[in-house]
Amino acid sequence: MISWISGELIEIWQTNQKFFVLINCQGLGYEIQVLESFFLKLKTNQISNKNIILWIKHIKKEDSDLLFGFKSKDQKNFFIEILNIRGIGSQIGMGILNKFTISEVINAINTQNKKLICSVPGIGQKMSERLILELKSKFKNELQIDEEKCKDEFQIKDNEIKKMVADLQLTLTSLNYSKNEIKRLLPIINKEIDSLTKKDKNISFENLLNLAMNYLDNNSSKIVG
């Protein structure tokens, strides 16, 4: 069973709404279906490093072995949870993650936004209800983001930065930081974003993650409560 791969990027291609990469790992070529966002970054040379690292979900069938690749372990685990829902196959799972971030899906689950879920090709009313019901129970105690509180604390107009902040919260949750620690960190992140914006400096997810980790490591006793 393949769960992770690191290798040289050989080729990328698109077949209908499926996106693929071919990776050379120790002389073997692995054909892996990836998310559209990752594919487009490769296509537009936004990722210059040709050594690719992906978290893999390996699905064995009678007549084939399918590999699905993700840039983060969170994406892979979320994909697996989606596949565990009756009636949802791999392509619908990829379609969900192609259309929305994890935080957007969780917010749709929390608000029971069936219309948003149904906007994914292949998902109808009944399937959206089942997906919301089952995922809500799975993620009741983890990976939940209170979007209303986030809006109150973050008056950010840039949608890309909003997604960075949401992804930052998911990453910190996956690293076992408590909701209280993350909540108290948000105003600090907000202040840093305002400062960088005023200086016309570029903001990256890596910048925000490094800032968060440094603060949490150095001030954990001050923010736990």
The predicted-structure confidence for 144-191, as pLDDT tens digits, reads as follows 444 444 444 445 556 777 788 888 888 888 777 777 778 777 877 877
Distance of CA 148 to the CA centre of its chain: 20
Distance CA(210)–CA(213), nearest Å, equals 5
Distance CA(43)–CA(41), nearest Å, equals 5
Half-sphere exposure of 60 (CA within 13 A, CB side): 3
Mean pLDDT in the chain? Answer: 81
Q: Are strands 18-25 and 28-34 parallel, antiparallel or unpaired?
A: antiparallel
Alpha-carbon torsion angle 171, 177, 181, 182, nearest 10: 10
> Which amino acid, 168?
L
Distance CA(174)–CA(186), nearest Å, equals 16
- Whole-prediction pTM: 0.62
Total residue length of the chain:
225
| pLDDT over 70 (residue 143) | no
More confident residue, 180 or 3: 3
C-alpha to C-alpha distances, 206 to 103, 129, 160, 209, nearest whole angstrom: 18, 36, 14, 5
Helix, strand counts (H, E) of the chain: 10, 5
Helix or strand (DSSP H, E) at 29: strand 28-34
pLDDT tens profile 45-87: 866 668 889 999 999 888 888 999 999 888 999 999 899 888 8
